[in-house]
Amino acid sequence: MDIFTKCKNFTRAREAIAAGIYPYFHALESKQDTEVIMEGKSIIMLGSNNYLGLTSNQRCINAGKNALEQYGTGCSGSRFLNGTLVLHLELEKQLADFVNKEAALTFSTGFQTNLGVISSIASKGDYILSDRENHASIVDGCRLSFAKTLKYKHNNMEDLECLLRKIPKENGVLIITDGVFSMGGDICNLPELVRLKKKYGARLFVDDAHALGMIGKNGRGTASHFGLEDDVDIIMSTFSKSLASLGGFIAASDQVIHYIKHASRPFIFSASVPPSNAAVALEAIHIMKEQPERVIDLQKNADYMRKGFIKRNIPIGNSTTAIIPVMTYTTERTFLITKLLLEAGVYVNPVIAPAVSEGECLLRTSYTATHTKEQLDKALDIFEQVFKEVNKIKN
């Protein structure tokens, strides 16, 4: 059989394109902001992870420009060899301080961070216990390791403990969870995870890709939110969301970071974070420390939208963060609503199986600290109009 047969037989996306409801790869013609120009039209952006509104912040832009002038466009090598800049070292120092850990290490992307850390920390004979709704990068990181991976029901601590009881005491155990889950916007049960970690002698890894900038003091993330910073062994996050850049990092004890530096293949064999990306992330950290009101404004905007959806009888998921899932249930309905929203001036992210279970499709809406009430009200009115239209079609 030709290995490309699967490519020929993949027709689902082309069918959606032909039907005029394909929702992906819409091109931006402007900065990522609360309103964008998309394919020649002004659109309210409710689908980015620009939680603190820093992608268009002039301080961040200037930091990137200055780094380009000082260090050039790239490092042309890995951190392990010629690709370490003093800028990387300063960024890692500031990141470790921000999340209250001894040391930090940067990777070229957030996805790569999880691949590189999980595959080096978890070895043959170890066990990984992973929440069923963890991000794809965690799933793939577990696959790359030689550890045995067991998945527990989403945020279900009874199921997690049931699995923990069965693991022999002589085996190493790593519990991995998202801090804020990327689709549902709910927060992990960190107090119970810490309790179980201690009870069974496990280590705890929290992916704060979405939590950083969203919850915790000054946006320091999940451990800060619960006051459990000393009890989380490894904190991971990304630069591509609240930090307005591209890259990722891990923060842990100095001993753990030292080991990962010398054992992680994705770290050792990848080019380092470009200077401009590192400089922007560093400036974003400075802004987060100086302007805690951004996190407060983000939470206020999300709460405002939650109340607005409920008032308009638009079904939403059980979220308490700046990620609010709007329930659409079926793939066809999800694509249709996405199309109508975009035509009316609102961008959202459609989420269908296998990213969610069949029959639980949704629109992933996410908010920014710099959204205005006028923008949010306009978006709510458009949502109400579109849902009424679609409900008439259904009936």
Show which residues are catalytic: 182, 210, 241
Distances (CA, A) of 301 to 116, 214, 311, 321: 35, 12, 15, 10
Question: φ, ψ for residue 159 (rounded to 5)?
Answer: -65, -40
The answer to whether 119 and 266 are in contact (CB under 8 A) is yes
Q: What is the C-alpha separation between 72 and 129, in angstroms, rounded?
A: 42
The answer to whether 216 and 350 are in contact (CB under 8 A) is no
Nearest residue to 193 (alpha-carbon basis) of 208, 179, 182, 210: 179
Distances (CA, A) of 245 to 64, 275, 280: 9, 11, 6
Q: What is the C-alpha separation between 191 and 210, in angstroms, rounded?
A: 19
Q: What is the C-alpha separation between 221 and 237, in angstroms, rounded?
A: 9
